Structure 1
Amino acid sequence: MRKFIFLSGLFLFTSFTSSFSQNAFDLVVIKTTGKGKNLRIIPGSEKLLTDRDAYDNQPSFINEFQLVFSAADENGNHDIIVYNFESDKFTNLTKTADRSEFSPAITECGQYIAAVVMESDGTQ
């Protein structure tokens, strides 16, 4: 079974960009083999999952085939997006104009996705 590691695109270049403002983050998929000390990255397997001028971050696996993450829209509001590896499709789980959602993760029961909601007045 292939496993995937997600990295924020600019995270790889932190030493080069630490003095610059971070306007965008993208998600990168890297295929791997093994586990723990035997974890190996498959060279040339990297794939840019998102490539936008906005902020895509906080990825979390919700099952073997899906990933959930927070993504900023053109107005700076963050919504929760689900990516399906099998269909190679993105689905908006939320699409709210008056608030933002961050830190999506599957709940302990495995049936729901929880997120932190930031209201327009800044309350959570």
Structure 2
Amino acid sequence: MRKFLFSFTTLLTAFLSEAQPNTDIYVMNLRRSPEGLLVEKPQNISNNDGYDNQPSFWTDGESVLYSKTLDGQTEIARYYFNSKNTLIISDTKQGSEYSPTPMPDGRISSIRLDTTGLQLLYAYKFNGNSEVLVPDLKIGYHAWIDADRIVAFVLGEPATMQIVNTKSGEATVVGKNIGRSLHKIPDSKDFSYVDKSGDNWTIMRMNPVLRESEEITSTTGSGEDYCWTPKGEILMADGAELFVWSPDSGWKQFADLSKDGITSITRLSVSPDGKKLAIAAE
């Protein structure tokens, strides 16, 4: 499929500052059968007008983080599956939080865009207290590689992929023309990203020490968001359809959520035990 490149700096600025899609967070059971993966019982856990997006499971799999729209801005929300309660963690009057992500030390990392235009990566405790993690870079997206380092989509002309040590502040450019979906690969020290330098986008893996990349597979469908299962499979969506990739079988469709009233799926996240799937969708 032919895909066209565009400025992600322009995209992210427009994305965070202009009208955002009316998305919700859906969570469903993810089950394995002799025929392959199955999804069951999709539930809208946000049920909210406005932009609810960027789900990320907590490390124990008992809750999920996401960005939730409240009073015209987004805050960090945590939904608990057992109680079905939602805890609002941040209450930032001067800005909005995006892409909340579990940190290795038990806190939450999140991009904060202030009303002044300042955009930085923060660390949040569950009482809402926060501190800047990376003071010198305008980060759009990130993933944790280990206890000290992240791989980050850094805005600029051009936008770059950088490995950042949040303790020392050292940052190294390791790529460009990448997508927003960055992930640590299960049972590996490597991370993955989408290479958009060609007409056909590819999911790549990089060793953060050697800083060498190799192709995993081409993306499927018209989207760019993906996630990993604990078994080393990749999930992607195209509209309401869900696809799974494995080294043995390549890409296969395994679900169509249009019957549940779900149309455009973007972000995806699988629980650490592989039994739940969270998506952002319209």
Please say whether Structure 1 and Structure 2 have the same fold, judged by a TM-score greater than 0.5.
yes
Q: How far is 1:101 from its partner?
A: 0.8
Q: How far is 1:108 from its partner?
A: 2.6
Q: How does 1:1-124 map to 2 (within 5 A)?
A: 23-34=21-32, 38-42=36-40, 45-62=41-58, 63-75=60-72, 77-109=73-105, 111-124=106-119
* 2:48–2:69 CA contact under 8 A, matched in 1: no
Q: Distance in 2 between matches of 1:64 and 1:29?
A: 12
RMSD, aligned α-carbons? 1.9
Q: What letter is aligned with 1:84?
A: Y
Q: How far is 1:38 from its partner?
A: 3.0
Q: Distance in 2 between matches of 1:78 and 1:25?
A: 12
Which portions of structure 1, spanning 4 or more consecutive aligned residues, are displaced by more than 6 angstroms?
none
Deviation per CA, 1:54-87, whole angstroms, max 9, x where unpaired? Answer: 1100000012101000011122x11000000011
* 2:65–2:78 CA contact under 8 A, matched in 1: yes
Structure (1/2) with the larger helix percentage: 1
Distance change >3 Å, CA 86–CA 23, structure 1 → 2: same
Q: What letter is aligned with 1:29?
A: V
Structure 1: stretches of 5+ with no match in the other structure: 1-20
Q: Distance in 2 between matches of 1:23 and 1:41?
A: 24
Q: How far is 1:92 from its partner?
A: 0.6
Q: Distance in 2 between matches of 1:33 and 1:78?
A: 32
SS class of match (2:48): coil
Partner of 1:16: none
Q: How many residues align?
A: 99
Q: How far is 1:48 from its partner?
A: 1.4
Identity among equivalent positions (%) equals: 25
Q: How far is 1:117 from its partner?
A: 1.1
* 2:25–2:44 CA contact under 8 A, matched in 1: yes
**TM-score normalised by length of structure 2:** 0.33
SS class of match (1:104): strand
Structure 2: stretches of 5+ with no match in the other structure: 1-18, 120-282
**TM-score normalised by length of structure 1:** 0.72
* 2:67–2:98 CA contact under 8 A, matched in 1: yes
Q: What letter is aligned with 2:67?
A: S
